[in-house]
């Protein structure tokens, strides 16, 4: 079974998260990576590239942050601000 799209049931069993960066994102400061990773994991259903990996206690959510994710997060921040 492939775990390569958002699944609310599987996401409820997530025990750990990992964040990867699409090469198209380029170089970001560590502090930018930190808050962007937090933001993308707060709304995993909107991530462009998501995968789940089975672990002994549940699942690990892996999100690869894309330029589209970053653009969406900035748009949301501007709209909320």
Residues 6+ apart with CB under 8 A from 29: none
Domain spans in the chain, listed from the N-terminal domain onward = 8-80
Contact 13, 57 (CB under 8 A): no
pLDDT, tens digit, 9 for 90 and up, residues 56-71 = 999 999 999 999 999 9
Contact 41, 19 (CB under 8 A): yes
CA distance readout (Å), 12 to 9, 16, 30, 32: 5, 11, 28, 27
Place of tokens 């997530």: 14
Is residue 56 classed as helix, strand or coil in its secondary structure? coil
Percentage above 70 pLDDT, the chain: 99
Give the rounded distance of the alpha carbon of 31 from its chain centre. 16
pLDDT, tens digit, 9 for 90 and up, residues 29-50 = 999 999 999 999 999 999 999 9
């Amino acid at each position: 079974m492939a775990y390569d799209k958002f699944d609310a049931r599987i996401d409820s069993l997530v025990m750990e998260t990992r964040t990867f960066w699409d090469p198209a994102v380029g170089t970001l400061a560590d502090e930018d990576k930190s808050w962007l990773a937090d933001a993308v994991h707060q709304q995993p259903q909107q991530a462009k590239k998501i995968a789940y990996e089975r672990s002994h206690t549940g699942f690990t959510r892996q999100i690869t942050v894309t330029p589209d994710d970053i653009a969406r997060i900035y748009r949301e921040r501007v709209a909320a601000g």
